Homo-oligomer: A and B are copies of this chain.
Amino acid sequence: MNIRTLCLGILSFQEASGYEIKKEIEDGMFSHFIDASYGSIYPALTMLNAEGLVTLRAEEQTGRPDKKVYAITDAGHAALAKSLAVVPARDKYKSEFLFEMLMQHYLTPSHIIVALEKQLADQRQELAQMNECKADPAEGTFPGCEFVMGYGEAVLTAGVSYLELRLAELKTQALKAAE
């Protein structure tokens, strides 16, 4: 799935500018399983408009460039539905953290503890962000949101528990070794 489809998907919820789409990808529902930068969003939107899959309305603003608000068209809905019809690619997960953990034979115990703590903090932050989304009434209205948040919560919570357990073990060992 490419950025064009992603933009179309976001616009299927609500019309938005490129800037707002980026925010949704960074802080909203989509942030948990997708990435995209301005460098890919703006060109995608331009393309989508040229192909008639979205329309464009310029909102005048003082002291800022016009806000270009995009909205999905019927052709856009059809294109999105078509993209959704193909069998989705498998999930892709990349983790430098796990790579580092596999390479324990290169690391000191204290380095490992720091890495674990960082990972734990990251996961907790992601969980917190997910709960923020939950609190946002705009998200709550779509049935897919509830599913995605439930999934994320289940997986992240399990990860956090495991990390906490392992971290506690390591700290105990470190204490014993220091004696």
Bound-complex Cα distance A145 to B154 (A)? 23
Cβ of A128 within 8 Å of any chain B Cβ, yes or no, is no
Cβ of B99 and Cβ of A1 under 8 Å apart?
yes
- Contacting residues of chain A (100-128) with chain B, CB-CB under 8 angstroms: 100-107, 115, 118-119, 122
Number of A interface residues at 8 Å Cβ cutoff, please give it: 56
- Interface bits A1-44 vs B (CB < 8 Å: 1, else 0): 10000100100100000000000000001101111000000000
Given known contacts A91-B95, A155-B158, A144 and B103 CB-to-CB distance under 8 angstroms: yes
Known interface pairs A157-B158, A166-B147; A103-B91 also in contact (CB < 8 Å): no
Q: How far is the CA of A97 from the CA of B163 in the complex (A)?
A: 26
Contacts of A115 in B (CB 8 A): 88
The answer, yes or no, to whether A50 is at the interface (CB within 8 Å) is no
| CB atoms of B33 and A104 under 8 A apart | no
Interface mask (A149-170 → B, CB under 8 Å = 1, otherwise 0):
0110011011101110010000
Q: Is A47 an interface residue (CB 8 A)?
A: no
Kindly identify which residue among B99, B104, B161 contacts A143, using a CB–CB cutoff of 8 Å: B104
